[in-house]
Amino acid sequence: MTTTNDNTNQTYLIRGADIVGAGRHDMVLQDGVITQLGQVDAPSGAVVVDADGLVALPGLVDLHTHLREPGREDAETVATGSAAAAAGGFTALLAMANTNPVTDTAEAAEHVYDLGQRAGLVDVHPVGAVTKGLAGEELAELGLMHRSRAAVRVFSDDGKCVHDARLMRRALEYVRAFDGVISQHSQDPRLADGQACCHEGELSGRLGLPGWPVVAEEVIVARDVMLARHTGSRVHVAHVSTAGSVEVIRWAKAQGIKVTAEVTPHHLMLTTDLLADYDPTFKVNPPLRPDKHVRALRTALVDGTIDAVATDHAPHARHDKEHAFAEAAFGMLGLEQALQVVNTVSRVDDGLDWAAVADRTSAAPARIAGLGDQGRPLQVGEPGNITLFDPDARAVVDAAASHSLSRNNPWHGHTLRGQVVATFLRSRATVLDGKVIS
């Protein structure tokens, strides 16, 4: 449910939160920033938020969101996607370019940016396409998009791989001038074509579904890190899904190559076994993998080989998803449950502490995207971008309760650990008591 409440100039006193990096303190939010930290008296007129038992994190930043607007407003709009993001504790997101029309010009990028400003719940930063129309044949207007009001710095043909090595090299060389980054959807189209719809293995053979081999991802990751080394540019590996990719990225980082990587919540928790009933909810690209890959991804997130958690939030209308598995659309929702999944699997099983959670969900993605006012430590004078999270709550996910227009939620019916209680964007509440405030 969205609640209307103009609280732009409201002062908030967050009472007794466990603040990552600072311990248990009160915190005053006013005029866009954190003005006091410690044991403080409530300023006149302040709204007091009881945060006893809650963890205060820097507002989450998502490197990988599909908002579907323009073109598929029946599946998601910038406004509804922003509401879902705020409900999940996000204060900024990167909107992928595979809309209709594609975000491959300065005008298209500014249009998405303006829609985000109008929604006002999170900072929406458009991702620019690497190639015109995502066709993989000619570079898009990378420089013009960067110089536009949207100040695009991240470029991706996500959904498609920039498979032409020469074109990828040119893109890397081009964005180096303004410290841009190419976010690659790593899928060799000759090894995993458009028909490949699930992990290639024993199960795909038994189900009779075209397989997506791990090597189709790993060869592109290996190629791109070598191109990044050759050009001195930054490459970002989107939605890493295999243990082999992790090993390549680990090696590349050890060599000093400018590579970063993200993992999705669903690849941290869900496995190929869920496909046994042909449920298209679990059809995603790259596909869910067997447990050994999931374990490798969790380990890589803990040790920092994988820099960030990114949702790959991919809403779809029912008529695009409710088909036989092989014909259904790829993708699943992810914004609203991302922090709950991290809290459920990585913290419990692998010992990711809160400082590391803050880094992987906020600081690192902000750094990769070049967002200077996001992912900041919670200190006096810093932007009031904050997520309050109850780590011990238990919540059963109800897909019907989503702020997204779509319902392809893989967590429906799951009991996840933790709950976002409040979100603040530049000291303005966008979520209070779990309810979105527009």
Instruction: Please state the residue numbers annotated as binding site.
Output: 64, 66-68, 98, 158, 185, 239, 285, 312, 316, 330-331
Q: Is 312 tagged catalytic?
A: yes
Catalytic residue among 123, 157, 224, 312: 312
How far is the C-alpha of 81 from the C-alpha of 59, rounded, in Å?
Answer: 16
Distances (CA, A) of 396 to 400, 417, 418, 419: 12, 9, 10, 10
- Residue labelled with tokens 């044991």: 39
Give the closest residue to 158 by CA, choosing from 286, 322, 308: 286
Task: Return binding residues for substrate.
Answer: 66-68, 98, 285, 316, 330-331
Rg (alpha carbons) of the chain, rounded to whole number: 21
Cα dihedral sign, 96-100-105-106: negative
For 305-340, letters b (16+ CB in 10 Å) and e give: bbbbbbbbbbbbbeebbeeebbebbbbbbbbbbbbb
Beta bridge partners of 436: 2, 431
Angle between helices 165-175 and 214-231 (to 10 degrees): 40
Distances (CA, A) of 212 to 130, 156, 268, 289: 24, 21, 18, 10
Task: Return binding residues for Zn(2+).
Answer: 64, 66, 158, 185, 239, 312
With vertex at residue 128, the alpha carbon angle to CA 126 and CA 130, rounded to the nearest 5 degrees, is 160
How far is the C-alpha of 352 from the C-alpha of 417, rounded, in Å?
Answer: 14
| Helix (H) / strand (E) containing 251 | helix 243-254
How far is the C-alpha of 55 from the C-alpha of 51, rounded, in Å?
Answer: 8
Cis amide linkage into residue 410, ω under 30° from 0: no
**Catalytic positions, please?**
312
